[in-house]
């Protein structure tokens, strides 16, 4: 069982791989071994389109040490077109104008490599 490693490797390849529960239909991202909704383990792997919309966002002004030189920056929870939500960095957006960032804005998945970590990121599309 390599749920985490596989997910991170997939991000690096620019892919968002989640899974679908064959019992209740729930779609999950990141992938799991037991369904988030019904708890059953009859899950299949699916690739998500990477398209979604901003659900909520924040602008981090007091960052953790590894992001010291990057603040302020935007972190959002994105609702993927297929349903699941995931946290990611919002890139190519002005953090100084939060009033211009709207819930519902369409975004697309981007893979980001930072401090040897694979980061889920999103970029606004129009």
Partner 1 sequence: MKKVYAIGAGMTKFGRHPVKTGRELIIEAALETVDSVDRGIDLQKDVEASWIGYFTPELYEHQGQYGPITSDCLGLVPKPAWRTEIACASSSAAILTGFFAVRSGVFDLVLVGGIEKMTTLSTEGVTDALSIAADNIFELPAGITFPGIFALIAQAYFKKYNVTWEDLQAIPIKSHHNGTLNPKAQYQSEVLELGNKFGKKKGISFKDPMDFLKSPLNPTVAYPLRLFDCCPITDGASFLLFASEDVAKKYTDTPIEMAGVGNGTETLSLHDRPEMTSSRATIYASKMAYKMAGVRPKDIDCTEVHDCFSINEVIQIEDLGLVPRGEGIKAAKEGRTSLDGDIPINMDGGLKSKGHPVGATGAGMFCEIWKQLRGEAGKRQIPDAEIGMISNVGGSAASAGVFILRR
Binding site for partner 1 (CB under 8 A): 4, 8, 30, 36, 55-68, 70, 73, 75, 77, 84-89, 98, 103, 114, 117-121
The sign of the torsion formed by the CA atoms of 90, 92, 96, 101 equals: negative
- The distance of closest approach from Cβ of residue 15 to partner 1 in the complex, given in angstroms and rounded to an integer, is 16
Nearest to partner 1 of 32, 106 (CB atom): 32
Nearest alpha-carbon partner for 98 in 58, 61, 69: 58
Maximum Cα–Cα distance across the chain: 46
Nearest to partner 1 of 17, 119 (CB atom): 119
Nearest to partner 1 of 65, 125 (CB atom): 65
Beta strand 117-124 pairing with 106-114:
antiparallel
* Cα Rg of the chain (Å, integer): 15
Nearest to partner 1 of 50, 88 (CB atom): 88
- The distance of closest approach from Cβ of residue 125 to partner 1 in the complex, given in angstroms and rounded to an integer, is 19
- The distance of closest approach from Cβ of residue 107 to partner 1 in the complex, given in angstroms and rounded to an integer, is 13
Rounded CA separation 118/95 (Å):
22
């Amino acid at each position: 069982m390599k749920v985490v490693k596989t997910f991170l490797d997939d991000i690096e390849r620019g892919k968002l791989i989640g899974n679908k529960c064959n019992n209740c239909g729930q779609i999950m991202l990141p992938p799991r071994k037991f369904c988030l909704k019904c708890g059953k383990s009859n899950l299949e792997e699916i690739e998500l389109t990477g398209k979604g919309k901003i659900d909520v966002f924040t602008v981090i002004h007091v960052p953790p040490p590894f992001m010291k030189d990057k603040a302020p920056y935007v972190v959002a929870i994105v609702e993927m077109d297929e349903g699941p939500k995931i946290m990611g960095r919002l890139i190519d957006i002005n953090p100084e104008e939060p009033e211009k960032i709207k819930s519902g804005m369409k975004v697309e998945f981007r893979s980001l490599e930072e401090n040897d970590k694979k980061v889920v990121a999103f970029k606004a599309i129009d």
